[in-house]
Amino acid sequence: MRVISYNLRKHRAAGELAALVERHSADVLCLQEADTADIPTHIGGLVLADATSRNRLGLAVYYRENTYRALEVRALALKKSLHDRVLKPAEERLLGVRLHDIDENRQVIVASFHAAPLTALNSLRRHQIRTALSELGQLGEGLPALMVGDYNYPVFKENLGQKVREQGYELTLSDARTYTRYRFFRGHYDFATSIGFDIDRVRTLPQGLSDHLPILVTAEVSQRVASGAA
């Protein structure tokens, strides 16, 4: 499975998506800061599973329709920061999709996630991440799950990794920084958490019109999980 995650910076980079999907043969596309009233139902060979509806700038998930079938979608509002309460940019910060892999005859979960901005405390973002991962478990108990997106967590990632592992998930950073807009805030913002997947690589792709660089996650269901499903 090849998954691209991209924060579009207030939809500015939306015109780059078709080329990204084609160039990197993406199976799933997870978006943040998309104008969900102005996104197509198809991008390349991918079809829209769903998008958030209560956000000014929302989340969307696309999947390759000749490989997967969407079974269930869940959008979730997470604990709000002061920024969220005042400016209301994002009511729903998680969009999870349970997919049926047609060829392998098994199910997986993929989710797009956007944490509260840097004006919030790391403790609040950890709460959001913890809640999001718990909800994905409810979407498909015991299924392999991959949550990608903008975690807004450039420092103290070791602590975050430990908290994620306590929930049975693994945190995987990309091979290069993903945010470049402000000199003192540059770093890894966009990464992946997973369970039941072997992550081969998380690669930072070239920068486009967004201040975030897209990432490409290459993953496969772990052999242990695959054998158990069989």
Domain ranges across the chain: 2-229
pLDDT band at residue 184, thresholds of 50, 70 and 90?
low
Cα–Cα separations (whole angstroms), residue 199 to 45, 102, 180: 23, 21, 25
Inform me whether the pLDDT recorded for 203 exceeds 50.
yes
Which SS3 state, helix, strand or coil, does residue 199 take? Answer: strand
Give the whole-number percent of the chain exceeding pLDDT 70. 90
Residues sharing a CB contact under 8 Å with residue 41, sequence separation 6 or more, in sequence order: 47, 48
pLDDT number for residue 157: 78
Q: Largest Cα–Cα distance of the chain, in whole Å?
A: 49
Q: What is the pTM of this model?
A: 0.92
Inform me whether the pLDDT recorded for 226 exceeds 80.
no
Tokens representing 226?
């695959």
Return the top range by mean pLDDT from 34-43, 180-189, 220-229.
34-43
Tens digit of pLDDT for each residue in 37-83? 999 999 999 999 999 988 778 999 999 999 999 999 999 887 665 55
CATH numeric code, 2-229: 3.60.10.10
Q: Which whole number is the average pLDDT over 1-14?
A: 97
pLDDT number for residue 190: 94
Pairwise pLDDT comparison (78 vs 107), residue with the higher score: 107
* Chain mean pLDDT for the chain: 90
Inform me whether the pLDDT recorded for 91 exceeds 80.
no
Q: Which residues are paired to 34 by β-bridges?
A: 58
